[in-house]
A and B are shown apart, each in its own frame.
Chain A
């Protein structure tokens, strides 16, 4: 292991390949399909692009019911660095809160719910056939109440039914969705930087939101370019993943579009997003189809972490876990149940290995990203500091600014990072497809992860680490073929802490881990290895004041690690987890911002009692998760 204490950012950046756009060694991995200026900044060794592929605006029924007024164009302006006004609004229509990203995003996708897109439009359009209906009239007067009525009928149920005002077979409401869908598409087009500066990429996208039995079977659908179906395929049109992909395949055959789907909140899905190996649901063709359409999994967002079970032997799995397994259980603690099977990424990825062992193809060969799932249109606002809440399912913000901006179980969510040659739709979509992606819980740490058979143990000292990483192996998301000569694979992890900003410096790194999942017989196994540890990283901020300790931890960590327990006869996968030193969670920052001093009871308002009674975690270990590298034995 080689450690770089202090701040040798130039060396580390060189190792990460950020300063070598002229280097050769990889061919462009994407096909140019767009009519646009070529990007001036092109890096064959790929650069990290930070973004958010899960953003809701007032076109989503739930956000709208909570008083959100921002539209897709506002979300993209915010993502590009402009300020964004948030509810509540003053009588004159001025927002009473404003937020702004400390650093703009490189890409984003507005993913409003496809369901109720038309209904909402009709209810808000005077003169529409539905405007004076009971549902619409009630919605305009009592939006939150009506949202509960409507959501329980159309979103949290196995067999959703449209309202009578939608007409025969719901055609009226389906067709009414064309207008808002065009707003989404136009906003994406206008935000996309087609100049050679390539400052920002947007994707046409939406969310398919199923809720059978109250479990969330949600997927974001991302289109490669401006071509998309005339209407988004919703849960009302296609009630499971298989039907969704079939409909999208048909639509895209007609429209010439390309798409991927990204499932999220597996922690609230009841395991319904994925098939168990025991169900024999796959043959090789259907497994390949699934892996092609669903290359990524969202592993963290505001509604919790979906990486691994808190009960696992891995202590760092106890991170941003929701205490309930269904959203509708949230208000009823006596009904809270532990999450079932196939609700965490590790379970799902392991299940994929078991299926692969049986049929030779892994349907769940997925990489990972994180996202915010903001319902305020605040794309990429994943900072613990100044968190305004996510705007749905949490506290009511239509009327007032709450002292505590969100339910304590929620968090600001995270970011997606794509390694691509340039910031264009073609390049980023290709990165999604090949899973060269990782997620972070908010900070912008830079992480490279390579796997190969011949990397030398001192490769971290090499200035051409990245070039050799690509040349002699595969990056995150890639697949390693069979071993030669019985050797074990070597994995390179190179990580740099978030450089932060002048006002908000980044937090040093504490450790790098590699998580290995494999099957033995038919049993799924997992093991977490600490592969790089920073000296003196045990320092943590004062939990009451959030004051940072003197510098601890490492600005960067790099290691080449060989699996000591490798068995070349079993499928396996490896992913890296890069962990920051502990820092203050958003909920603790609210305590600090409001002057709470636990020794002085008079400084503790009732809403902030959690600051002193231990009912909410005060510290967080921010982290990044890379997409796995998959190993397949010779068949």
Chain B
């Protein structure tokens, strides 16, 4: 596995599972993937019911936050991939990357790492519950 591929894999894992703070009138901590889901939902609202109200502002807020956190997480993934390359060499990079990504997702699926004020169920949620 190349370092670039390792970075991309880690980035995807972080986008899927790393809790990042967001602001949408209220604040919470969710994965960037959840913000993408909210963006898709908002765009669907616009497509079905039109853009009246604050939907354009919501789209803008979500796009800005998604871009910000995607960039930050990409940087984190790059640094992590480089560090793993140094620590494990090219031979061990694939195993180290897969292990790190799986651990992150497994932890997120097991522990309620997220604060999700928009859910009708509990405020704190695991990864699976975030997307319920």
Chain A interface (Cβ within 8 Å of chain B)?
Answer: 134-135, 138, 140-145, 148-154, 156-157, 161, 163-164, 331, 396, 398-400
Q: Let me know if A398 and B50 touch, CB within 8 A.
A: no
Residues of A within 8 A of B23 (CB): 331
Ranked nearest first, the 10 interchain pairs of A and B with the lowest CB-CB distance are: A153-B53, A399-B123, A152-B54, A152-B53, A145-B118, A142-B118, A153-B52, A396-B117, A161-B52, A144-B118
Residues of A within 8 A of B44 (CB): 134
Report the minimal beta-carbon distance from A578 to chain B, rounded to whole angstroms. Answer: 38
Contact with A along B38-78 (1 / 0, CB 8 A): 10011011001110111101100000000000000000000
Q: Let me know if B119 and A142 touch, CB within 8 A.
A: yes
> Which of B26, B41, B49, B117 has the largest count of A CB atoms less than 10 A from its CB?
B49
Residues of B within 8 A of A143 (CB): 118, 120
Q: Which residue of A lies closest to B56 (CB)?
A: A152
Q: Let me know if A152 and B55 touch, CB within 8 A.
A: yes
Residues of B within 8 A of A157 (CB): 52-53
Residues of B within 8 A of A150 (CB): 53
Chain B interface (Cβ within 8 Å of chain A)?
Answer: 23-26, 38, 41-42, 44-45, 48-50, 52-55, 57-58, 117-120, 122-124
Q: Let me know if A134 and B52 touch, CB within 8 A.
A: no
Q: How far is the CA of A271 from the CA of B59 in the complex (A)?
A: 31
> Which of A138, A151, A331, A399 has the largest count of B CB atoms less than 10 A from its CB?
A399
- Given A138-B41, A141-B120, A142-B118, are A149 and B53 neighbors across the interface (CB < 8 Å)? yes
Q: Let me know if A134 and B49 touch, CB within 8 A.
A: yes
Report the minimal beta-carbon distance from A212 to chain B, rounded to whole angstroms. Answer: 13
Q: Let me know if A164 and B48 touch, CB within 8 A.
A: yes
Residues of A within 8 A of B117 (CB): 144, 396, 399
- Given A144-B26, A148-B58, are A399 and B122 neighbors across the interface (CB < 8 Å)? yes
Residues of A within 8 A of B53 (CB): 149-154, 156-157
Q: How far is the CA of A157 from the CA of B54 in the complex (A)?
A: 9
Q: How far is the CA of A140 from the CA of B123 in the complex (A)?
A: 15
Q: How far is the CA of A144 from the CA of B116 in the complex (A)?
A: 10
Residues of B within 8 A of A145 (CB): 24, 38, 118
- Given A141-B120, A396-B123, are A149 and B55 neighbors across the interface (CB < 8 Å)? yes
- Given A138-B41, A145-B38, A152-B55, are A163 and B120 neighbors across the interface (CB < 8 Å)? no
Report the minimal beta-carbon distance from B120 to chain A, rounded to whole angstroms. Answer: 5
Residues of A within 8 A of B41 (CB): 138
Q: Let me know if B25 and A148 touch, CB within 8 A.
A: yes
Q: Let me know if B119 and A141 touch, CB within 8 A.
A: yes
Residues of B within 8 A of A400 (CB): 123
Report the minimal beta-carbon distance from B18 to chain A, rounded to whole angstroms. Answer: 21
Q: Let me know if B120 and A149 touch, CB within 8 A.
A: no
Q: How far is the CA of A151 from the CA of B122 in the complex (A)?
A: 23
Q: Let me know if A148 and B45 touch, CB within 8 A.
A: no
Besides the known contacts A142-B118, A148-B24, A153-B52, 8 further A-B residue pairs in the complex with CB atoms under 8 A apart: A144-B26, A145-B24, A148-B54, A149-B45, A149-B58, A153-B49, A161-B50, A163-B49
Q: How far is the CA of A522 from the CA of B44 in the complex (A)?
A: 55
Q: Which residue of A lies closest to B38 (CB)?
A: A145
Q: Let me know if A142 and B54 touch, CB within 8 A.
A: no
Task: Out of B25, B38, B45, B123, name the residue touching A331 (CB < 8 Å).
Answer: B25
Q: Let me know if B120 and A396 touch, CB within 8 A.
A: no
Q: How far is the CA of A153 from the CA of B54 in the complex (A)?
A: 7
Q: Let me know if B120 and A142 touch, CB within 8 A.
A: yes
9 interchain pairs, CB-CB under 8 A:
A135-B45, A138-B45, A144-B118, A145-B24, A148-B25, A152-B55, A153-B54, A396-B123, A398-B120
Residues of B within 8 A of A152 (CB): 53-55, 57
Q: How far is the CA of A398 from the CA of B24 in the complex (A)?
A: 17
